[in-house]
Amino acid sequence: MSSSQTKPGTPLRSTGRADGSSVGQSFQPVFEGEVEPVREQPGEFQALPMIEEKEFTQGFGETLDQTLNIDSWSDGSDLSSIFDRAEQEIGDALAQEKASAPHIRNVLFPLIASREHAPPGAGVFQATRKQLEQTQILTLFNGGVEACDGTCAVHDTLPLTITQIGVCLVSYLGQQGAWAHRLFRKDLRIRGQNAVEEALELLQRRQVRAGVDQSSPRDQLTELGRRGIMSYAERAILLTKSNAPWRMGHGQPAPYELVTGSGSMDFLRRSLDMLSELILDRRRFVFIPSAPGERLLLTIGQALHPFEFAIVETTERRMDQILHKGHLRGEHRTRAESFTRDAGPKILVGVYRTFSECPPQVFYAHADHAQEAGLIAMADSMLQPQRAFPTLIDLADTVCSSLFGVEGFNSSIQAAYTMHGHPLRFLGERDSRG
């Protein structure tokens, strides 16, 4: 039974074979029964337009005037008091977090499944060690999952910016693939017509760019090269180069730079076509970000017990926010809105916990296979008790860094400058430090 057909409070079937067939296991819901629904989904907090003095004092435990009184700052001579204060504050924070967990479980967990607009299949579920071990054997270790990760190295100087994008695809069968591409950006490619006009055009182009080796929202071409193309390549390789039933990615399925086109409408069209096929047609995927941005999801995760996972909501709200903050107009906005209506309700957001002493992890999956995706993510994270993060993604990152890492990239570029007689002329200050 797919999650789209499952009612909250009923057992959920898991998929544990490389070909996607059922292995006949079921998850037991942590909470059953009806709870009075609430009108707002968890996480829909409105940011304050300004920081009031009272809010600052509540957050930091001191007034803003006290903070800005430089005479009250430590001069570094009494390190023991600094360490003692940090130890006390950490202890208090941990105690508060531990004390709040039972209340979160008793109050918030039942609302995940019963609140208004909760997606089908939402709730908190308990997996067993046997289920996770079978998933490792029947799905992970026999090549049923392939993971993809990429790396981006940039050499930015005044005459030339070189961007190297590398992406690797790996599985536990030892199979791997690697793809790389380099972009060479010049502010002006000389046409040999009017030297004065070309010089003025060069000045104008450099005026609107960010500083050397810096990023800026106005320098959209740089952002497209650095982030957008790598995000596209990772997902396109999962879609077109992987032969495994399950695809595992790093980050989220439909990131900001793809949904907005990173300033390029041609790139937006290509991105939405590719994402539609990956999300709506392929469906068996799981994405895990390294740095999830929503503290409410992590708070739910910290209240989970080991081997529990929660399926919380869809990405429709998040994707709508991306469109509202973006600058798409006309047919391009219409196209993005259509994609959001189709894909947003199909991408579910969950959080899982494998070990009590490790942080929880957020995951994204298709609504038809969210429980199976959570099980796969947990089973792969079990292999790293010290990190509790999917090992396949780490493996892809390691391979990618060894092949296309910054150190080798910078060495080859610097050798080229040396060969042309300019080993130091465009070397950045940080690069020349001893």
The tens place of each residue's pLDDT in the chain, 434 residues long, gives 333 333 333 333 333 444 554 443 455 555 433 333 333 344 443 444 577 788 888 888 889 899 899 888 887 777 788 788 888 888 988 888 889 889 899 998 999 999 888 999 999 999 999 999 999 999 999 999 999 999 988 877 767 778 889 999 999 998 789 999 988 876 555 555 656 555 555 466 556 555 555 555 555 556 666 788 899 999 999 999 999 999 999 999 999 889 988 878 888 999 999 999 999 999 999 999 998 778 889 999 999 999 999 999 999 988 888 887 767 888 888 999 999 999 999 999 999 999 989 999 999 999 999 999 999 999 999 999 999 999 999 999 999 999 998 888 888 888 888 888 877 766 766 666 65
Whole-angstrom Cα distance, residue 286 to residue 235? 12
How far, CA to CA in Å, does 76 sit from each of 72, 81, 85, 324? 12, 10, 13, 47
d(CA 200, CA 354): 59
pLDDT at 2: 38
Binning the chain into helix, strand and coil, the percentages to the nearest 5 are 45, 20, 35
Give the chain's domains with CATH numbers.
123-188+220-419 (3.30.2170)
Q: 190 in helix, strand or coil?
A: coil
**What is the phi-psi region of residue 191: left when phi exceeds 0, alpha when psi lies from -120 to 50, beta otherwise?**
alpha
Residue of 261, 254, 230, 231 whose CA lies nearest to 326: 261
Distance CA 129, CA 107 (A): 27
pLDDT tens for residues 352-381?
999 989 999 999 999 999 999 999 999 999
pLDDT at 46: 46
Q: What is the pTM of this model?
A: 0.79
Reported as a single tens digit per residue, the pLDDT across 34-67 is: 333 333 344 443 444 577 788 888 888 889 899 8
Alpha-carbon distance of 113 to 29, in angstroms, equals: 10
